[in-house]
Structure 1
Amino acid sequence: MKQPSLFIPHGGGPCFFMDPSDGDRLHSDPMWHPMQAYLTGLMSDLPERPKAMLIVSAHWEEPSFTVHGGSQPSLLFDYSGFPPHTYALRWDAPGDPALAGRVVSLLSDAGFPVGQETDRGWDHGVFIPMKVALPDAGIPVMQLSLRRDLDPAAHIAAGRALAGLRDEGVLIIGSGMSFHNMRVRGPEGTDRAVEWDDALNSAVTDPDPQRRAARVSAWDQLPEARFAHPREEHLLPLMVALGAGADDPARLDHRSTVLGWTVSAYRFG
């Protein structure tokens, strides 16, 4: 069955695997629980178990779109300052070299230069949310990088080039955060974060697919855009998910508040 495409929040570091005994009040706070509950139910809300997953994480950028084609990647613990047990987490999902080859072909056919590599591990934008959503790690995964220029139109176009994979049972996931300004924590930014999130929701869920893409591509013209994203790498996975959603309806899939930020997830199809 045809799979949707998703944009999901991946939390803060290993937040879903922290507890108060770790001595880190910020990342063990119950405020993360609604987001964790959303991720826990992610697979049960799909039409069927995906045959494979293609994940675009905010934590991998390359000069051109780059495909991870490894067969059994390790984990890349690309966070720092957390308790030792968070560097011993396991999530042993296999890679999918065949899917990687399909992605390379589809992006190349769409006119994109495409890189390939096999050695990089799954970064925490992949393994942290997916360890919550798929603890058995039983579905093959392929990761696609962002393009370092962070051009929203190019990322939407790349998603459109990959949209047909959904008909083959591939779940396409953009993993980021709809709000990501690490200089803002606490209630002083809440009203501005809500204003941004309301504007983003309006653009992402626009019922006209062409207008939706145009509005989201021009995200930096929305109210409080640069307050929400001083640098937009955590928003760009949304562009790929939106492009992969093609002309299918879009919906707000989750909304919660962490660190004083309003954070949203979206589903296309």
Structure 2
Amino acid sequence: MTLPTLFIPHGGGPCFFMDPAGGPPDPMWRPMQAYLAGLIESLPERPRAILLVSGHWEEEEVTVNVGSGQPLLYDYYGFPEHTYRLRWDAPGAPDVARRAAELIAGAGFAVREEAERGWDHGVFIPMMVAVPGADIPLAQLSLRKDLDPAAHIAIGRALAPLRDEGVLIVGSGMSFHNLRARGPQVTPVADEWDAALADSVTDADPAARADRVARWEALPHARFAHPEAEHLLPLMVALGAGGDDRAVRDYRDHVLGWAVSGYRFG
């Protein structure tokens, strides 16, 4: 069975786990938490592994983490002390990482392996919600530092065979990510950007979809929504891996005044 590919929002820092007693998050974050909590159940079958590309890891060349189980990288700042002791102890998936490297190299891209880097919060925060039992192995894939949209779509296309091998391909980022712009005054602009992005991502013509999303900077308010593109680029990988399959927006809500969306391909 062919698994879909996903682009998911991973929230803000440890937003789902701010209560040291384990209570629910701020109401603003609860719809996103509910969406993430239902992801695995929404799939046609439970994946044997996850390949995840996060907006928080960039390398000169595409890099796969081949570790058998990673420490967590608490790459957020100014949050309560207990959030630096969160745990998500899933095993690594070095076999999936090496298979991904083989596919990426076969498509003509330079790729390398490493085994030391910890899983950043773009991995463990959403996965603590989506896979609370930490019982699905995971391999992490980096972005390329040039953040070239067309290249990342092509990298995603190269990874598509994994979907028939029981691997769920996940892009983890945010569809809007301007940390200096928050509050209700941002919402009208964020809504206009979000509508234009959604229209491009869900274009029924796969070739037009890829072309429009690769040219995301031409959309209204693009560089306001993403002063830097790293939180959007995981979408490119998920879209590329989705190939010609139908694309849908399966999540939309507002946080911090931002319109935030998630997408599914297949």
Q: Is the 8 A contact 1:64 1:113 kept in 2?
A: yes
Kept in 2, the 8 Å contact 1:20–1:28? The answer is no
Task: Report the equivalent of 2:28.
Answer: 31
Are residues 1:3 and 2:3 paired? yes
Deviations 1:51-95 (A, max 9, x none): 110000000000010000000111111111111110111100111
Q: Distance in 2 between matches of 1:218 and 1:262?
A: 20
Task: Note if contact 1:65-1:113 (Cα within 8 Å) is conserved in structure 2.
Answer: yes
Q: Give the Å deviation of 1:21.
A: 8.8
Aligned to 1:226: 223
Query: After TM superposition, what 4+ stretches of structure 1 lie above 4 angstroms from structure 2?
Result: none
Residue in 1 that maps onto 2:208: 211
Please say if residues 104 and 155 of structure 2, whose CA atoms lie closer than 8 Å, have aligned partners that are also in contact. yes
Structure 2 Cα separation of the partners of residues 111 and 241 of structure 1: 19
CA positional deviation for 1:11: 0.1
Map of 1:1-150 to 2, 5 A cutoff?
A: 1-19=1-19, 28-150=25-147
- 1:200 alignment partner in structure 2: 197
CA contact (8 A) 2:20 2:82 kept: no
- Could you tell me which runs of 5 or more consecutive residues in structure 1 were left unpaired when the two chains were aligned: none
TM-score normalised over the length of structure 1: 0.96
- Corresponding residue to 1:186 among 158, 183, 186: 183
Structure 1 residue 19 displacement after superposition: 3.1
Instruction: Establish whether residue 250 from structure 1 lines up as the match of residue 236 from structure 2.
Output: no
The corresponding residue for 1:170 is 167
The alignment partner of 1:79 has SS state of: coil
Contact preservation (8 Å) 1:253, 1:267: yes
Stretches of structure 2 lacking an aligned partner (at least 5 in a row): none
Find the aligned partners of 1:197 and 1:20 in 2 and give their Cα distance.
33
TM-score by length of 2: 0.98
Q: Secondary structure at the match of 2:52?
A: strand
| Counterpart Cα distance in 2 of 1:30 and 1:227 | 26
Cα RMSD, aligned residues only: 1.4
**Percent identity between the aligned chains?**
68
How far apart in 1 are the matches of 2:21 and 2:108? Answer: 51
Q: Distance in 1 between matches of 2:127 and 2:31?
A: 16
